Amino acid sequence: MTLNEVTISRAILEEQHRTFIDYLEMDAAVIGGGPSGLVCAALLGEKGVRCALIEKKLSIGGGMWGGGMMFPRIVVQEGARRLLDRFDIAYREFEPGYYVAKSVEAVSKLTAAACDAGVEFFNLTTVEDVMVRGDGRVGGLVINWTPVDMAGLHVDPLTVACTCTVDATGHDAMIARMIERKGGGLPVKGESFMWAERAETRILDHTREVFPGLFVAGMAANAVAGECRMGPIFGGMFLSGERAADLVAERLGR
């Protein structure tokens, strides 16, 4: 067999163009591929929801890759340990109620689970606006390539339609802030001081639909609510992603 460079290029272009066109309309779009976004997308896929995960960076995983200060380990508390088991992420008990896992394994297995569940990934893709029509709901996203955004190029975006959107963009709560800036009536208070216990125990209450069609998960949920941050403990992130998936699936009737 002789390898042909044009055939390789054609395979990439045809496959990704087909996928892009297929996902111009979808049930749910998860914005942000960190811990809450990955868990949310994987569980939505398992529920049969047509779901895409949009990540502005080249790599998936958000803050998990670096663990704490580039020590690639994460901590998960007792209440969320079942999600480590569910996604077959190895861990050991450090002290009673504290479980430590490898961040690289956690990212890899959550990503693989989402892929196995049929989730499509669009990385290096930035959401620069949302579509809100007469019904007052977020019904679509305005997207562009991240390098276009980084370079400040004047290149018009494209749009995709989605019934539900999950803002899992972390501390910035990017999608919620877009709506706030345009007078959508959604206040984003911004995250408060580090307080792991408070942040972890309250995050599920903050994981909710904050604007018609827009759900918040993970640190985006705490940022919208003005809640504390928690550092490199990820149980709340996982549980928030699970909660968001349940809320979206319920809204979609799944």
Q: Tell whether residue 189 is among the known ligand binding residues.
A: no
User: How many angstroms separate the Cα of 115 from the Cα of each of 7, 42, 164?
Assistant: 25, 7, 20
Amino acid at 10: R
Consult the annotation and say whether 160 binds a ligand: no
Q: Judge residue 35's burial from the number of C-beta atoms within 10 Å of its C-beta, 0-12 exposed, 13-18 middle, 19 or more buried.
A: buried
Examine residue 11 and state whether it is found in any structural domain, yes or no.
Answer: no
Domain that holds residue 83: 29-252
132 assigned ligand-binding residue:
no
Q: Is residue 96 part of a domain?
A: yes
Whether 19 is covered by a domain: the verdict is no
CA 17 to each of CA 1, 58, 122, 163: distance values in angstroms, whole numbers, following the listed order: 26, 18, 12, 22
| DSSP of 150-214 | HHT-----EEEEEEEEEE--GGG-HHHHHHHHTT-S-------SB-HHHHHHHHHHH-SEEETTE
CATH value at residue 231: 3.50.50.60
Residue 227 domain-assigned? yes
CA–CA dist 27, 131 (Å, integer): 15
What would the pLDDT profile of 49-89 be if each residue is shown by its tens digit?
A: 999 999 999 999 999 999 999 999 999 999 999 999 999 99
Cβ-based neighbours of 68, under 8 Å, separated by 6 or more? 74, 231, 232
* pLDDT for the residue numbered 186: 85
Number of domains in the chain: 1
Output phi, psi for 173, to 5 deg: 45, 55
The length of the chain, given as a count of residues:
254
172-223 residue pLDDT tens: 999 999 999 998 888 999 999 999 999 999 999 999 999 999 999 999 999 9
For residues 226-238, give the mean pLDDT.
97
On whether residue 209 sits in a domain, the answer given is yes
**6 belongs to a structural domain:** no
Cβ 193 vs Cβ 229: under 8 Å: yes
Q: Is 149 labelled a binding residue? A: no
pLDDT at position 74: 97
Any known ligand binding at 127?
yes
Tell whether residue 156 is among the known ligand binding residues.
yes
- Does the annotation list 47 as a binding residue? no
What does the block give as tokens for 30? 């998860």
71 three-class SS: strand
> At what angle are helices 235-252 and 196-206 packed, to 10 degrees?
0
pLDDT at 82: 98
Q: Is 155 annotated as a binding residue?
A: yes
Whether residue 7 is contained in a domain is answered as: no
| In a domain? residue 52 | yes
Non-local CB neighbours of 242 within 8 Å, separated by 6+ positions:
39, 40, 43, 83
Residues 241, 169: Cα–Cα separation, whole Å: 12
This prediction's pTM: 0.97
What pLDDT, in 10s, does the model give residues 128-152?
A: 999 999 999 999 999 999 999 999 9
